[in-house]
Chain A
Amino acid sequence: MAYSDKVLQHYENPRNVGSFDKNEQGVATGMVGAPACGDVMKLQIKVNTDGVIEDARFKTYGCGSAIASSSLVTEWIKGKTLDEAMTIRNTEIAEELALPPVKIHCSILAEDAIKAAIEDYRSKYDGQSLLSAKANNE
């Protein structure tokens, strides 16, 4: 199957591959997997004391579209607040990468990975703890 140029760009030169130390302050991890294709995606975010995602890393085992989808979202979520990142929809990812219908599940995987990482962040840091720590210091 032919991949779109944008998928190829990300696939051949993926952005933000790797991982953070999961115990580092502000780091949270989202892991998701799609049984139908066996793809597994790990997305990590590093959130600063302003509640903004300042960095992201991913590791994905899957097809070119899955790798491109995760690479793209690491770029998109950087600089966004958690609430803003929550609004990213798989349809936007699919559109940006010109994914064919059979590869839509790759974009769903990427959207769900963002949500899983944010959920992990919120459960780990109890939502506001970093912000309140900052407020206390000021």
Chain B
Amino acid sequence: MSYGLVSIVTVSMSINFSSNYFELFNLPVKFRLDSNQMSEAWRNIQNMVHPDRHVQGSAQDKRIAMQWAVYVNEAFTTLRNPLDRARYLLALHGFDTKEETDTFMPEGFLMEQMIWRENIEEAISSNNINELNSLLQQLYELYSAGEDRLGQFIDDKQNYIDAILEVRKLRFFQRLEKEIKDSVEQLE
């Protein structure tokens, strides 16, 4: 299969690299994104910057094309992952979720986290894989409810403070998910 030669100049004019990731893909700056629209936007742009399209270009053209491909990949990976997308949106609005440095969380939430850990430990010590799988299902339900709330906070209410807390909570859930999955793997 042969690609037509697209000049780097043409590509650089059709893609605005100083824009944010949403604008790069011509997508609305929102948390709730239509997955079909996302896939289509991805195909369009990836096709344009794909290194195979620049095989006949100069070494410099190829290098630039490669850098674009990497950049576009990174942008799409960020937008595709809901938690990364939420963080990126919050950053666009000037907010940092401070997941590495801020240790304050509502006490009730932390108590629940302790109970989750206790339940997981108990299931592990009694070799109860069914219980672990049931915990995993509960976790997925909580996670999905949290994603719905993120959409409400960011898109509907522009309530970025609560959105930050929601991202931080979902990060704890991700950790629990990993712990449960690892344990199931070990018990199996």
Residues of B within 8 A of A36 (CB): 99-100, 171
Total number of residue pairs linking A and B with CB closer than 8 Å: 55
> From B173, which residue of chain A is reached at the shortest CB distance?
A38
B60 at the interface (CB under 8 A from A): no
B103 at the interface (CB under 8 A from A): yes
Residues of B within 8 A of A116 (CB): 104
B161 → chain A closest CB, angstroms: 15
Stretch of B9-17, B33-41, B109-117 lying at the A interface: B109-117
- Do B101 and A33 touch across chains, with their CB atoms under 8 A apart? no
- Do A31 and B175 touch across chains, with their CB atoms under 8 A apart? no
- Do B110 and A40 touch across chains, with their CB atoms under 8 A apart? yes
B173 → chain A closest CB, angstroms: 9
- Do B110 and A31 touch across chains, with their CB atoms under 8 A apart? yes
Q: Is the interface of B mostly helix, strand, loop or mixed?
A: helix
B168 at the interface (CB under 8 A from A): yes
Q: Is the interface of A mostly helix, strand, loop or mixed?
A: mixed
- Do A42 and B104 touch across chains, with their CB atoms under 8 A apart? no
A80 at the interface (CB under 8 A from B): no
- Do A33 and B103 touch across chains, with their CB atoms under 8 A apart? yes
A86 → chain B closest CB, angstroms: 16
- Do A108 and B103 touch across chains, with their CB atoms under 8 A apart? yes
A131 at the interface (CB under 8 A from B): no
13 residue pairs of the A-B complex, CB under 8 angstroms, read A31-B105, A32-B103, A34-B99, A34-B103, A36-B99, A36-B100, A36-B171, A40-B110, A61-B114, A105-B100, A108-B101, A108-B103, A113-B103
